[in-house]
């Protein structure tokens, strides 16, 4: 009888150890999966941002010529020859003309810091949305080093054409209420 009890206890302990091992392994596995997806997401986001800057891209007008920057209005990539500058803002030839032919007004200026970038994101959203409806806008960013906080502030401003300013302002108000 005692012998049978010992066998049962040993067997039971064995099963418990086996189960604990299994749980441990599964936890480890799930955690590792989560970590991998988080890392992949972060990496993907970084790559997307790099793509936006178009470091590896080619000029839209000259295939085979490396792009040096993007147009502030259409955000397509162009080579040095195709980018025309006005007060440090770059435009493609088509949109440089559009820029010169219109009166532009600053719609809004926001300040964002590396630990609080979301205030500027709304401006990029509105710019993308407007461009889908062929309403041109452009964004100007000025960087300033804040010595007190020891961080870089960026002053981001959105510019639109005078004739579309009131409509764009309305959309800005709607965005800020969200």
Instruction: Name the residues that contact Zn ion, by CB under 5 A.
Output: 59, 61-62, 71, 73-74, 79, 82, 92, 95
| Nearest residue (CB) to Zn ion, 45 versus 86 | 86
| Nearest residue (CB) to Zn ion, 95 versus 112 | 95
Q: Which of 12, 16, 95 is nearest to 60 (CA)?
A: 95
Task: State which residue has the least CB distance to Zn ion.
Answer: 71
| Nearest residue (CB) to Zn ion, 91 versus 122 | 91
> Residue 8 to residues 5, 14, 19, 163: CA-CA distances in angstroms?
5, 10, 16, 87
* Minimum separation from the CB atom of position 93 to Zn ion (A): 8
| Nearest residue (CB) to Zn ion, 74 versus 140 | 74
> Residue 65 to residues 43, 52, 62: CA-CA distances in angstroms?
27, 17, 6
* Minimum separation from the CB atom of position 97 to Zn ion (A): 10
Type and span of the H or E element at 121: helix 118-132
Q: Is the dihedral of CA 146, 151, 152, 154 positive or negative?
A: negative
* Minimum separation from the CB atom of position 51 to Zn ion (A): 18
Task: Look up tokens 């440090």; give the residue.
Answer: 88
* Minimum separation from the CB atom of position 148 to Zn ion (A): 38
């Amino acid at each position: 009888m005692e012998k049978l009890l010992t066998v049962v206890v040993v067997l039971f302990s064995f099963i418990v150890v086996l189960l604990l091992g299994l749980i441990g392994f599964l936890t480890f596995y799930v955690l590792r999966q989560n970590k991998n997806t988080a890392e992949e997401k972060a990496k993907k986001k970084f790559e997307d941002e790099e793509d936006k800057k178009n470091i590896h891209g080619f000029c839209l007008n000259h295939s085979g010529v490396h792009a040096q920057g993007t147009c502030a209005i259409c955000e397509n990539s162009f080579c040095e020859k195709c980018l025309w500058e006005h007060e440090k803002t770059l435009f493609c030839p088509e949109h440089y003309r559009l820029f010169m032919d219109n009166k532009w007004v600053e719609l809004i200026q926001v300040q964002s810091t590396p630990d609080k970038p979301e205030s500027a994101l709304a401006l990029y959203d509105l710019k993308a949305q407007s461009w889908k409806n062929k309403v041109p806008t452009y964004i100007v960013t000025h960087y300033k080093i804040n010595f007190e906080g020891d961080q870089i502030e960026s002053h981001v401003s959105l510019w639109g054409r005078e004739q579309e300013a009131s409509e764009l302002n309305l959309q800005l108000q709607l965005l800020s209420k969200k």
